[in-house]
């Protein structure tokens, strides 16, 4: 168990170093920073001085090591546009993105799993057909279009919900939350649906196909032959086996939700990291872009690690205990 965790952590570190390298190389690809800072008319002496000052005369790997060292302390330098520390900007924006992402993920799971189970158990009912049809729309429509349609219907035509922004927020320490105010909650609904709809349909279809698969297995037939109730067969025996692969996908999707929040945040002008990233891209704000890349990679790596451990907890076959040797 410990060896497993250590191996996974080592892999995670390797991934992060690689992503860091890519983020770091952004700086060199997008032009000479010295030229950028001093302009074209600087004297060669000035250029040498600034190059030294910035540490750019050092070999590549020393620069990279410095970058990693500072990144570990959360220091990604100053935003070129806002001239404020990138870490500060992120701390301000992180709560908005995480609240939106988790709301979307919760929505996807809370609706997707029951719908998947329902469509698997009542394959021929009209409601299951409706779910499947709607899910087809969910997977095939692009996120921004769903967002725009939702805004059109619920904000413009019906006027029930706000079309942009986060509403009122309350600060709890450095964390600002919109979950505790009415306008914050109302603002969350449309973006969360937009962001979660694709994942919800994905999870629903996954649960459905896994469940159908599991219901055909011998152990389900045998569970019925033992006289267990339908409820126990479906929701105890079948669902647990169904959820093993679903955990992996749902975990990976959480990473995707955080990363792809960019589009939803842009459509709804949601003041999160994705919006910050898009704004940075338009002005080539490299430090912000590099930091965003690293942070998203970190989310993915951590989520993957947690998913692996969860998998381990759910499926006893992965737990190798020496106490019970097979005969």
Partner 1 sequence: MTAPLLEVRNLRVEFPTRRGTLVAVDDLSFEIAPGEVLGVVGESGAGKSLTGMAIIGLLEPPGRIASGQILLEGERIDNLPPDAMRRIRGKRIGAIFQDPLTSLNPLFTIGEQLIETLQVHLELDHKQARSRAIELLAEVGIPAPAARIDNYPHHFSGGMRQRVVIALALCAHPRLIVADEPTTALDVSIQAQIIDLLKKVARENGAAVMLITHDMGVIAETADRVAVMYAGRLAEIGPVKDVIHAPRHPYTSGLMSSIPKLGEQRESLAQIDGAMPRLTAIPPGCAFNPRCPKRFDRCMTERPSPMPAGANHAACWLYAS
Q: Quick check: 244 binds partner 1 (CB under 8 A)?
A: yes
CA 49, CA 141: separation in Å to the nearest integer? 54
Point out which residues pair with 177 in neighbouring strands.
170
Q: Quick check: 222 binds partner 1 (CB under 8 A)?
A: yes
Interface pick for partner 1 out of 46, 75, 213, 315 (rule CB under 8 A)? 315
Q: How far is CA 183 from its chain centroid?
A: 25
Q: Quick check: 59 binds partner 1 (CB under 8 A)?
A: no
- Listed in sequence order, the residues at least 6 apart from 260 whose beta carbon sits closer than 8 Å to its beta carbon are 143, 195
Interface pick for partner 1 out of 148, 224, 311, 312 (rule CB under 8 A)? 224
Considering beta carbons, is residue 157 or 326 the nearer one to partner 1? 326
Least Å from the CB of residue 242 to partner 1: 10
Interface pick for partner 1 out of 56, 139, 212, 228 (rule CB under 8 A)? 228
Secondary structure class of 186 (helix, strand, coil): helix
Least Å from the CB of residue 145 to partner 1: 39
Q: Quick check: 327 binds partner 1 (CB under 8 A)?
A: yes
Interface pick for partner 1 out of 237, 289, 304, 307 (rule CB under 8 A)? 237
Least Å from the CB of residue 315 to partner 1: 7
Residue listed under structure tokens 């049809």? 133
Establish how many alpha carbons lie within 13 A of residue 253's alpha carbon, considering only the half-sphere containing its beta carbon.
Answer: 25
Q: Quick check: 125 binds partner 1 (CB under 8 A)?
A: no
Q: Which of 83, 103, 92, 27 has its CA nearest to residue 294?
A: 27
Beta strands in 160-317 (DSSP E): 170-172, 175-177
Q: Quick check: 326 binds partner 1 (CB under 8 A)?
A: yes
Q: Report residue 85: phi and psi, to 5°.
A: -60, 135
Q: Which of 88, 90, 86 has its CA nearest to residue 98?
A: 90
CA 324, CA 196: separation in Å to the nearest integer? 43
Q: Quick check: 227 binds partner 1 (CB under 8 A)?
A: yes
* Per-residue contact string for residues 180-219; x = within reach of partner 1 by CB under 8 A: -------------------------------------xxx
Interface pick for partner 1 out of 45, 157, 171, 317 (rule CB under 8 A)? 317
Interface pick for partner 1 out of 97, 241, 280, 304 (rule CB under 8 A)? 241
What is the sign, positive or negative, of the torsion defined by CA atoms of 192, 202, 245, 11? negative
Q: Quick check: 122 binds partner 1 (CB under 8 A)?
A: no
Q: Quick check: 267 binds partner 1 (CB under 8 A)?
A: no
Considering beta carbons, is residue 73 or 317 the nearer one to partner 1? 317
First vs last Cα of the chain: how many Å apart? 23
Least Å from the CB of residue 5 to partner 1: 21
Q: Which of 244, 240, 253 has its CA nearest to residue 303?
A: 253
Q: Quick check: 223 binds partner 1 (CB under 8 A)?
A: yes
- Under the rule (CB under 8 A), what is the footprint of partner 1? 217-230, 232, 236-237, 240-241, 244, 314-317, 324-327
């Amino acid at each position: 168990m410990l060896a497993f965790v250590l191996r996974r952590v080592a892999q995670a570190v390797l991934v992060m170093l690689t992503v860091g390298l890519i983020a770091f190389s952004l700086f060199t690809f997008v032009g000479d920073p010295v030229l950028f800072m001093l302009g074209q008319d600087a004297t060669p002496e000035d250029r040498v001085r600034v190059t030294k000052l910035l540490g750019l005369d050092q070999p590549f790997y020393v620069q990279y090591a410095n970058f990693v060292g500072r990144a570990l302390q959360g220091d990604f330098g100053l935003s070129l546009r806002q001239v404020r520390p990138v870490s500060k900007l992120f701390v301000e924006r992180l709560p908005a993105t995480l609240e939106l992402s988790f709301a979307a993920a919760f929505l996807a799971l809370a609706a997707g799993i029951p719908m998947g189970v329902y469509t698997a158990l009542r394959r021929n009912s009209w409601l299951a057909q409706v779910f499947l049809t709607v899910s087809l729309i969910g997977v095939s429509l692009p996120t921004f279009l769903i967002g725009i349609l939702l805004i059109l219907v619920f904000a413009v035509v019906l006027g029930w919900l706000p079309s942009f922004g986060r509403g009122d927020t309350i600060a709890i320490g450095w964390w600002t939350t919109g979950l505790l105010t009415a306008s914050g909650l109302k603002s969350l609904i449309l973006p969360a649906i937009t962001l979660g709809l694709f994942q919800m349909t994905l999870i629903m279809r996954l649960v459905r196909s896994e469940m159908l698969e599991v219901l055909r297995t011998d152990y389900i037939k045998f569970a019925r032959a033992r006289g267990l109730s339908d409820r126990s067969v479906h929701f105890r025996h079948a669902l647990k086996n169904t959820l093993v692969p679903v955990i992996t996908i749902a975990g990976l999707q959480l990473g995707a939700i955080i990363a792809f929040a960019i589009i939803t945040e842009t459509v709804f002008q949601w003041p999160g990291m994705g919006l910050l990233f898009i704004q940075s891209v338009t002005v080539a704000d490299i430090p912000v872009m590099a930091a965003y890349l690293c942070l998203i990679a970190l989310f993915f790596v951590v989520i993957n690690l947690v998913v692996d451990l969860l998998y381990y907890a759910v499926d006893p076959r992965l737990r190798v205990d020496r106490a019970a040797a097979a005969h």
